[in-house]
Amino acid sequence: MPSTRLANLIDGRLQAPRDNRWLDVYEPATGAVFAQCPDSTSADVDAAVQAAQKAAPEWMATPSDERARLLHRLADLIEARLDEFAALESRDSGKPVALAKRLDIPRAVSNLRFFAAAVMAWDSESHAMESGAINYTLRRPLGVVGCISPWNLPLYLFTWKIAPALASGNTVVAKPSEITPCTVALLAALSIEAGFPPGVLNIVQGRGPTTGQAIVEHPAIKAVSFTGSTRTGASIAAAAAPHFKKVSLELGGKNPAIVFADADLSDEHLDTIVRSGFANQGEICLCGSRLLVQRSIYDTFRERYLERVNALRVGDPQDAGSDLGALVSREHFEKVMGCIQLARDEGGRVLTGGHALTPPGRCAEGWFVAPTVIDGLSNDTTTNQQEIFGPVVTLIPFDDEAEALAIANGTGYGLAASLWTSDLSRAHRMGARLEFGIVWINCWLLRDLRTPFGGSKQSGVGREGGAEALRFFTEPRNICIRY
């Protein structure tokens, strides 16, 4: 039996699930169980909602600067334990510890600090009328809100939701993924140390269809901010609709990276293009999994690209030299291997990778997949239409701008695109026509937390980031005064 049992945070206390039921938590690099996570029921969710309701009036009335102070304090406590958080995130998710230390945990700290600052700088709108009246807008917190996050960037995406929810005066009932619950459990303990009043932040661990569903369906929860798969997003939207709940849905993607012959393909840019496909084992919703390359440079680009992909080191996530670690679960590993087989069945040519890997030593039973590049598939194949969410990139040639646009937009998803060109006019033209919520030009994953973040089509509804998130978690009230 593993020594670590995680706890829920309800009403300011760490506690076991009421039914005393537990889920095994696996270390993807070894395939072994290393912790247990509460398998909470609707009774746990109900207790959390009651605590959040009780705490809501005082938290709403707490001045923004005090709420911001507590968020800063939590950020400081996490930052002080950066190494511990990074090691735990890596162990829980399979990602390289170096990545968790460089990206996940610092970004979680930034999320908390960013929204602490953003709420202090948030303006109220006013509209004067020539007829002798003035309108101003109050933005009131919603009350109790639900936040549900996925496994790929566990602490990063969890804090991206709870920070704006808390900063804008809501009390929260939140659930991380049951596949990667560990760093959020550590955050729960630190939130008590930071001094958040009991009931302001509640964390209920457990499975999606039970614990998650109970959060979504609870009548006292006024809004649900969700990041995860498109399929779950659809079921959440359906469950929330009869209650007229606000929902923010950040869902899947099938993102294009588009390389024109006139692009500056410096080593730095090529490295970024490779990273855009394989960072975090390709388990980032923003990864460019369809790499569109102008035909005139296709052959030379492919050789340079493959050389770099072949140089990626897959291995023990604890090893500082590993570029890629393990996939998050056996189930996901099998899904990705199935997608590679499907690509072969559809007539794809596997240029590199295409197989599982077995690093020596302690990782012999882990869920590792070699970085895989496939070409020879048209854009309408299942491989190029469905989200794989693994270290798999397909290469697709195109002739001109019109064809690149048609291929890029020819997907049910609309999350992110990246475009590589030295032609400024083309960059603006394409930027306006690519049907994606985020378009990066000559860069990828360059994030300014003030910008709207999210996707269109099957990639989601609503936007996170900056004022968008603060707006989501508040209800506007117009006050009109005649003078």
In the complex, the residues that contact ligand NAD under the rule CB under 6 A are 148-152, 157, 175, 177-178, 207-209, 212-213, 216, 227-229, 232, 235-236, 250-253, 285, 387, 389, 415, 455, 459-460
C-alpha distances in angstroms, 285 versus 255, 256, 262, 378? 8, 12, 27, 22
Smallest distance, ligand NAD to C-beta of residue 263, A: 26
Find, among 268, 279, 280, 254, the residue nearest to 417 by Cα: 254
Closer CB to ligand NAD, 212 or 315, in the complex: 212
Other Cβ atoms closer than 10 A to 265: 18
Closer CB to ligand NAD, 178 or 316, in the complex: 178
Burial of 69 (0-12, 13-18, 19+ CB in 10 A): middle
User: Do residues 93 and 86 touch, judged by C-beta distance below 8 A?
Assistant: no
DSSP of 287-355: -EEEEEEEGGGHHHHHHHHHHHHHTPPB--TTSTT-SB---S-HHHHHHHHHHHHHHHHTT-EEEE--S
Which residue's beta carbon is nearest to the bound ligand NAD?
208
Smallest distance, ligand NAD to C-beta of residue 368, A: 19
d(CA 148, CA 159) in angstroms, rounded, equals: 11
Smallest distance, ligand NAD to C-beta of residue 336, A: 12
Residue type at 173 in one-letter notation: V
DSSP, res 164: H
Closer CB to ligand NAD, 280 or 421, in the complex: 280
Give catalytic residue positions: 250
Task: Give the bridge partners for 134, in sequence order.
Answer: 128, 481
Q: Could you give the 3-state DSSP secondary structure of residue 43?
A: helix
Closer CB to ligand NAD, 289 or 294, in the complex: 289
Closer CB to ligand NAD, 28 or 315, in the complex: 28
Which helix (H) or strand (E) element contains residue 236? Answer: helix 230-240
Smallest distance, ligand NAD to C-beta of residue 332, A: 7
Closer CB to ligand NAD, 316 or 387, in the complex: 387
Smallest distance, ligand NAD to C-beta of residue 94, A: 14
Dihedral in degrees, nearest 10, Cα atoms 417, 421, 423, 426: -30
Smallest distance, ligand NAD to C-beta of residue 377, A: 20
Smallest distance, ligand NAD to C-beta of residue 105, A: 17
Phi, psi of 380 (to 5 degrees): -90, 5
Smallest distance, ligand NAD to C-beta of residue 326, A: 15
Task: Give the bridge partners for 88, in sequence order.
Answer: none
Closer CB to ligand NAD, 203 or 263, in the complex: 203
Q: Structure tokens of 197?
A: 């009043």
Q: Structure tokens of 288?
A: 């460019």
DSSP, res 4: E
Smallest distance, ligand NAD to C-beta of residue 216, A: 5
Which helix (H) or strand (E) element contains residue 416? Answer: strand 416-420
CA neighbours closer than 13 Å in the CB half-sphere of residue 472: 30
d(CA 34, CA 62) in angstroms, rounded, equals: 40
Q: What is the CA radius of gyration of the chain?
A: 23
Closer CB to ligand NAD, 151 or 260, in the complex: 151
Residue type at 277 in one-letter notation: G
- E-assigned strands of 125-193? 126-129, 133-141, 144-148, 171-175
Closer CB to ligand NAD, 49 or 70, in the complex: 49
